[in-house]
Structure 1
Amino acid sequence: MQTHTEILAKSNLNNGISLHDHLQHVSYIADIYSRKLGYNSDICKYGAIFHDIGKAHPVFQNRLKGIYDNNQIDFRHEISSIFFIPLVEKNLHDNIIDMVIAHHRSPIKDVREQGIIDLINLEGNEEVFIRHSEPWEEWMPIALDILESLNVKVRKINLAEAKDFFCYTIEHCKNKRQGWSEYKGIMIGADHLASAVNERSLSISERIFEIPDLGYFHSENRKSTIYPLSLVNTDNNKKHTLVIAPTGAGKTDFLMKRCKGRIFYTLPFQASINAMYERLKNCLPKDSDIRLLHASSRMLLNNNSSYEEKALQAKIGASVKVLTPHQLAGLICGTRGFESMAIDIKACDVILDEIHSYSKVAQSMVIEIIKVLLKLKCRIHIGSATMPTVLTEEIKKILGGSELIFDVHLENKILDTFNRHKVFKHKNDFFIEDIVEKAIKKNDKILVVCNRVTSAQQKYIQIKKTFPDIPIMLIHSRFKRIDRNNLEKKLIEYYANRDVMPDSCIIIATQVVEVSLDISFDVMITEAAPIDSLIQRFGRINRYRNEKFIKEKIIKDIHVLAPAENKKDCLPYDKDIIDLSFGELPDSEILNEKDIQRIIDKVYPKIEIIPIGTHLVWEGDHFLLKELCHFPKSVLLETLNIESACCILQSDQEMYVKGNSEIRTALEIPVSRSVIFQKNTKYGISKYGNHPIIIDDTMYDSNLGLVWKEIENFL
């Protein structure tokens, strides 16, 4: 048997793997998918083997060598691939067509107009067929050799038979109804994973889709009166979970114990995702397949991480994946790859932690995601320290009511043991230096939280000037991604660690510290914010519970600045909500934990569900897209700024151009998408990577981050 190692699937500049090897790797993984997910193994195997066989065509091979005519209509190898599907049983044909013809392009209304129906409409049947088949007698035997070496029973296919199947495929695609293809999802997932790990596909394939070992969370030594949720029996037959409890009550353990399958753990912020990823790595067995997913996730993996570990992060099949709900938004928007995402998450446990921490539009998105997760038979577990009752009731209704939800709340007498903060309200920030000075004398660790980057930068400069000998650090979202990751690590391992830094220190931060960062400081100074955000911030002060904490009722001070007088200075929040939140806080008194729900409900007596139906591919139980099709992008995702813009320094431009995706990500500074419409740079926008705007080096400081006065409204 000839494998034709000279016939490539990818160019020598892109790993240079042979077509035979690539098809073999994809088929390994597709076979595992079929066995572990319960799909037809023959369909998955043959779909994987046939999906790229059209790359044996000389036009594609020449293109890999840099020989092609830019003026010609693009050659689509998946069209050439379908000519060989008649080699297998007829009853397999339709599903294999779905796997092959649409794994790169929507058949119709593709963004590049390169789907099979798009090309037919542009050129006509005959022209498309000739361009993708000829010279048939030259390359068809090579393709058959490769297929035979992959254990496909081959025979010569004449041109007429190939054309007949080409015409059948066209009608098959034209007659598609509304819906989505699970086999397309398997194909995309297997192709992407195999392309990432190549020859390691066989060893990788045996590890994917494994249910995690959660023995650590179920062990008896995790039970303690210090963490009251650890004493609640999680063996409840109800499918879903809703738990409202303060920081430090044991929510994470409780939610993990409620899981029965693979886990998707969602959190709202990058910092909290990173912290949870590290926490789970320490809790689960060493060989567990735990992954994280956000814009900078590959950088969090340290230098000891294997190429394999880095390559797997965004691929399907993890035992545990830690991510934001925004990464799941493709499920409701129908963007590229949504089918493989659906296959990945189907029937899994999905933890939605701190679900309250989203904007109105994002909250509407999360609610719609929950609805789709239910269609995919997921078990949904929701945890929060602060959630308005009206939102709780809305979610309960969506999940199916009390018959399906294990609803857990702590009694008031237990909540009383969580009283830990005394709140002081201030009309202005003139007092800050006095508070900092007193805290330093007590050797306290001080956390200052601002609502906007510019405000945090100004306070950093002010406090550093006044206290030059005290360790101080600024952290926010407008640093280079690599610098931001290093700052988070430094915060947790150095500044917040009494064993490493026993003396006083000062951290200036934005909302990036609100959720799930495992730090405990002694004093907080914070700008006024919505009550739910404030409660999360307060959770970084006097965080750790122990017997001494409960017995002595240790209380730490929180200082809250009055809201700004104009709406602009209250951004990114709503001034009315901030004013109401500030008014409901006690002054010079202990904030009682049992009163927090009442305060939240006073601030949020109703919820505003922003209508986003025009952006969705689901309408009730009806899927609105034609099967095999997807949207290239989503207006909703852009509105949420999920696909955020970025900038790079002019001095980093050459490294960005030459670097791989990991290097490019490290150099990027996230900014609002609105920035790309500004005309504040003489260097323009890069043509590479994420097309960052190129800024002058003077606009970035290693301690302050991005200092861009012209666009401060967007920062």
Structure 2
Amino acid sequence: MLLAGLTSFADWIGSNEAVFPFGTPHDCEDPSAWFRTRRAINVENALNQIGWLPRLPLMDDARPFDEVFGFAPRPLQTAMVNALAAIDQPTILLIEAPMGEGKTEAALYAHLELQRRLGHRGLYVALPTKATGNAMFHRVLKFLQSQRGDRQLDMQLLHGGALLNDEFQQLKPGGISDIAKGGDVRASEWFTHKKRALLSEYGVGTIDQALLTILPVRHQFVRMWGLANRVVVFDEIHAYDAYTGTLLLHLLRWLLALGASVVLLTATLPPQTRRQLAELVGQKPPEPDAIYPRLSVYQPGEAVRSTSFDADPRRRLTLRVEAVTADLDAIKAALEAQLVDGGYALALTNTVQRAQDLYRDYGVGAPLMVDGEPIGKRLPDDTEVYLFHARFPADARQRREDAVLKLFGPPDNTSPAPRTGRKILIATQVAEQSLDLDFDLIVTDLAPIDLLLQRAGRLWRHARGARHVAEPNLIVAGLAEDPPPCFGKPLWWGAVYREDVLLRTRSLLRGKPTLQLPDDIDVLVASVYEESVDVEASLEARLDRAMQDALGKEFAHFGEAHRSIIGLPDDASWKTGMRFTLYDDDEPGVHASLKVRTRLGEDSVLVVPLFASDAFDPTVAPDFAQAKAWYLRAVNLSRKGIVTRLRAQGVPEGWRQSALLRNAYPLRLDSESRWIDDPQVRISSELGLIYETKETP
């Protein structure tokens, strides 16, 4: 695999006739002299031209953590410094800790030290989504700019929306960003090609780009060579299902075989995953395991080392668990009862439809505007209600995300303003992770225990002078009914989460009036996922059926992941050549069965809402400015009938020539913002994309 990647890289460069012109008959008289005097210069120029410079460590000598980052290490970061001292071979480091403990800085320091000691040639940080990738790109860029200043570094952003990231575009030739502390960081144009992006020394992107290295796509070995001998960081690994999680485990096996080191970051993790990591290096997990939060080291041929560290005492929290029924009126009543004197609250629902319905239930209010677009409403009693979910067009979603961070984010340490009034954010899982949000009160739909704890981490997250709520309360909708509600229609929670996990989480929480964070996290997650929770006798039959269904699907997803990869590095399976070469998952005009998949789930399409004023012509290729303006409206749809109809219509001829729109479908709207092919689908500037039914007001 390494040889194939190197050979393709050399061939791509050496076959460029503009850099390597043909020789003359006279040159044939002394080929050695011709090579020394001309070709050697061509080679040097070619490598310089694409930005392929010597891969030198950012640190020549060991530097203490506080010298690198400018602040004293926290307990997690001290644990990382100590663990690195005993590492002498490519390794896997697993950090399990709540948000806000400094996991990212610990991972970046691990990269510096592993690069210095083991000769790793760069860094790639993989995240679950484009949005989290953009946020991490900013952090890693600032980090690199603050490091070595005597050579140029190349850094790439790897996901489908990279063309829209202004900060990344400024790194390209002609758009070089301001350099902090002398650190010259650029984005060479040669590496921006999707098949070559992982060859760049530094990169941030989605996990999908890393997983393509072990899937049967063209030039897969080039991508794999790009990750070889790197430090690869996977953030928020708890976010992946059985299929993507299994692919990740196979990728880790390949990365170790190719001399790379890996840092895994997570807030919560089931014990089964830790066992799988130990098996991956031929070991067993330690008995007993270190208590949470912890740092674990997995090295081939060595026993697993697991170390506990102290969580930030400022983030230790005792919160009260309160149960309400699943109906929206109960959620509104709970918010009303708790926010008598004001306060900032989150109402987190498991589906977009439910979030839209709850927002509607608050009635009419004066629009709260940003850049001429509504992001919420002010009710007659001055309560402000905001709505945030993933079914807004991309530009509207970004406006709302920015407003949410400003309103509900951390206090401004330079001039902290007191929180006043009553503000409610109604949101879906988009508020569950990555965003640094702080609420006085949270009402959430019942969800798997690890995700509920993730949501609870937004309660009283930052130190504030005063709050309008006496204590941190986590109110769980769907916890009060006995028996529990149906997780199918009309809630549709079962379409999002496993029913057996929901039932065990419910039974566990009904017996716990309070939670201690972070102390209870590990025990609670293990209880649910190790199936050690006792459920009521009346639920046993329902739980058994749910488990059989879930295990069947999980087994199928495991099998599909095993069949999808190129093979494993420690046997001959990857050499057989028996697998079909498939297309990248973003290849336009190709049937889904012929594409690789890095994730499972509902089939979806990317649509661009178009109005009559857009003067859309399917035969015309839009210029970049027009394509960007349209792409910024894009939204993903997964409703089966709509997906089928749009795919039958196909991508417009003109859009196939656009790098941004080649995988998008036009959603042509009438004067009432309804889809001309189905009036029950419409876009609302206040609610986002709506699937109307007979009951929809």
Structure 1 residue 692 displacement after superposition:
1.2
Please show how residues 252-651 of structure 1 align to structure 2 within 5 Å. 252-259=104-111, 260-261=114-115, 262-285=122-145, 289-301=154-166, 305=170, 308=173, 315-401=197-283, 402-404=298-300, 407-410=305-308, 418-428=316-326, 429-437=328-336, 440-463=339-362, 465=364, 468=379, 469-496=382-409, 498-499=411-412, 502-503=419-420, 504-544=422-462, 556-562=472-478, 564-568=485-489, 569-570=492-493, 571-585=495-509, 587-605=512-530, 610-611=558-559, 612-619=561-568, 620-622=570-572, 623-624=574-575, 626=577, 630-633=581-584, 637=597, 640=600, 644-651=604-611
Q: Deviations over 1:516-560 (max 9, x none)?
A: 2222222211111111111222222222369x99xxxx9522211
1:239-279: per-residue Cα shift (whole Å, max 9, x none)? 22122222222222222222234222222233333332233
Over residues 627-675 of structure 1, what are the superposed CA-to-partner deviations in whole Å (9 max), with x where a residue is unaligned? 9994224655176259952112132573894143644532321123845
- Residues 350 and 218 from structure 1, CA distance in 2 versus in 1: closer, same or farther, beyond 3 angstroms? farther
Contact kept in structure 2, 1:346 and 1:377, CA below 8 Å: yes
TM-score norm. by structure 2 comes to 0.66
Name the counterpart of 1:153.
23
Contact 2:218-2:581 at 8 Å conserved across structures: yes
Q: Report the AA paired with residue 615 of structure 1.
A: S
Task: Return closer, same or farther for 1:294/1:413 CA change in 2, 3 Å cut-off.
Answer: closer
Which has the higher mean CA deviation after the structures are superposed, 338-347 or 313-322?
Answer: 313-322
Residues in 1 aligned to 2:137 and 2:648: alpha-carbon distance in whole angstroms: 40
- For residues 691 and 663 of structure 2, what CA distance do their matches in structure 1 show? 20
Q: Distance in 1 between matches of 2:109 and 2:691?
A: 46
Displacement after TM superposition at 1:303 (Å): 9.8
Report the counterpart of residue 683 of structure 2 in structure 1.
700
Q: Closer, same or farther in 2 for the Cα pair 1:289/1:515, shift >3 Å?
A: farther
State how far apart, in whole Å, the 1-side matches of 2:5 and 2:161 are: 34
RMSD: 4.3
The 3 A distance-change label for structure 1 pair 365 and 666 is same
Counterpart Cα distance in 1 of 2:338 and 2:155: 40
Higher helix share: 1
The CA distance in 2 between the partners of 1:709 and 1:655, in whole Å, is 28
- The equivalent residue for 1:231 is 78
Secondary structure at the residue paired with 2:497?
Answer: coil
TM-score when normalising by structure 1: 0.65
Taking a change above 3 Å as real, the CA distance of residues 560 and 320 of structure 1, as seen in their structure-2 partners, is: farther
Aligned pair in 2 of structure 1 residues 436, 692: CA closer, same or farther (>3 Å)? Answer: same
Q: Following the alignment from structure 2 to structure 1, what is the Cα–Cα distance between the partners of residues 488 and 338?
A: 32
Deviations 1:198-248 (A, max 9, x none): x999566156966557979653776658x4213323433332212222222
Q: Percent identity?
A: 20
* 8 Å contact kept, 2:446–2:476: yes
Sort the Cα spacing of 1:230 and 1:455 in 2 relative to 1 into closer, same or farther, 3 A. Answer: same
Q: Does 1:248 align with 2:118?
A: no
Query: 1:416 Cα shift?
Result: 10
The CA distance in 2 between the partners of 1:506 and 1:234, in whole Å, is: 43
Q: 2:538 — aligned with what?
A: none
Residue 617 of structure 1 and its aligned partner are, at CA, apart by 1.2
Q: Quick check: 1:654 aligned with 2:616?
A: yes
Contact 2:101 2:311 in 1 (8 A): no
Does the aligned pair in 2 maintain the 1:530–1:581 contact within 8 Å?
A: yes
Structure 1 gaps of 5+ residues are 1-32, 54-145, 158-198
Q: Distance in 2 between matches of 1:476 and 1:352?
A: 25
Return closer, same or farther for 1:441/1:645 CA change in 2, 3 Å cut-off.
Answer: same
Alpha-carbon distance between aligned partners in 1 of 2:362 and 2:405, rounded to the nearest angstrom? 21
Residue 48 of structure 1 corresponds to 13
Point out the more displaced range, 341-350 or 629-638. Answer: 629-638
3-state DSSP of counterpart to 2:563:
helix
Measured in 2, the distance between the counterparts of 1:215 and 1:482 equals 42
Matched, 1:205 2:51: yes
Residue 670 (structure 1) aligned with residue 674 (structure 2)? no
More strand, by proportion: 2
Instruction: Give the distance between the partners of 1:630 and 1:477, measured in 2 at CA.
Output: 33
Q: Distance in 2 between matches of 1:671 and 1:458?
A: 19
Look up the equivalent residue of 1:565 and give its one-letter code.
Answer: C
* Higher Cα radius of gyration: 1
Q: Closer, same or farther in 2 for the Cα pair 1:206/1:436, shift >3 Å?
A: same
Q: Deviations over 1:80-127 (max 9, x none)?
A: xxxxxxxxxxxxxxxxxxxxxxxxxxxxxxxxxxxxxxxxxxxxxxxx
Taking the aligned partners of 1:413 and 1:355, their CA distance within structure 2 comes to 20
Q: Give the SS at the match of 2:346.
A: strand
Match runs of 1:674-693 below 5 Å: 674=640, 677-679=643-645, 686-687=652-653, 688=655, 689-693=662-666
Range 324-333 or range 285-294, more displaced: 285-294
Range moving further from structure 2, 401-410 or 289-298: 401-410
CA contact (8 A) 1:675 1:711 kept: no
> Partner letter of residue 346 of structure 1?
A
Once the two structures are superposed, residues 584-630 of structure 1 have per-residue CA deviations (whole angstroms, 9 ceiling, x without a partner) of: 12554233432221221121117956122222211453315649994
1:709 equivalent in alignment to 2:692 = yes
Letter in 2 for 1:229: L
Q: Distance in 2 between matches of 1:306 and 1:200?
A: 20
Gaps of 5+ in 2: 28-44, 116-121, 147-151, 174-185, 284-297, 366-377, 479-483, 532-550, 585-593, 656-661, 675-681
Shift of 1:582: 2.3
Q: Please tell me the residue identity of whatever aligns with 1:567.
A: G
Aligned residues: 536
